[in-house]
Amino acid sequence: MSESKKDAPTPAPAPAPDAWTKWVALSTTLLAVCAAFATLKGGSYSTKTQLATVSASNKWAYYQAKSLKETARDTESTIIKVIEAAAPAPEAKAIARKAIEKADEEIKRYKGEKAEIMKDALHLDAEAAYCQARGGNFGLAIMFLQIAIMLSAIAALMKKKSFWIVGLCAGAIGVGYLVYAWPLYEKIYPAPVAPVHADAPKVAK
């Protein structure tokens, strides 16, 4: 019994894991953190784009409403001018003249309001385009970082170092897009500046 135990072959020791697989785990963790941050920032700019787009649409609708009011007052002024020209009595002409002046004042007010509304609408359009462009770079960062994480996982499973190296290259591109979209983009392309409005007199709308 003792001799059979001595003759039994000793089990071979388990092969030591490759040292580079430890770096795969570390690099994958770092890439996952970068991808999570890029996702957070990209979602933020996606929300900003939607809000700016909706606000711009509301401003343009408000602009259109002011244009309709201006057109109505302009038509009213034209009709009263015809009445004024045909009125025989001086009192009628005076009343018509006051109505014309009031209509012209409202037309002038609507033109000023339209100019201010257009400034806001154009600013919101520019802000939506800016946020969309900046968010697109975060989207590219997320794409390359996810590819890098996938390749690193394949490398760890298949013990193929080449997949990890390619994944690191993709991760470097993703980190590059993240750096460009986050701290550098605003320095290269400043955000649109909000318009300054002139102090308008408070009048009934």
Contact of 120 with 69, CB cutoff 8 Å: no
Helices marked H in the chain: 2-7, 19-86, 90-158, 161-179, 185-188
Cα end-to-end distance, the chain, whole Å: 108
| pLDDT mean over 125-135 | 95
Query: Cα–Cα distance between 49 and 56 in angstroms, integer?
Result: 10
- pLDDT over 70 percentage in the chain: 87
* pLDDT number for residue 199: 58
121 has a pLDDT exceeding 90: yes
- pLDDT over 90 percentage in the chain: 63
pTM over 0.75, yes/no? yes
Type of residue found at 187:
K
Query: Cα–Cα distance between 145 and 161 in angstroms, integer?
Result: 18
Q: What is the pLDDT of residues 183-195, one digit of tens each?
A: 899 899 998 998 8
* pLDDT number for residue 198: 67
Tokens of 174: 């993703």
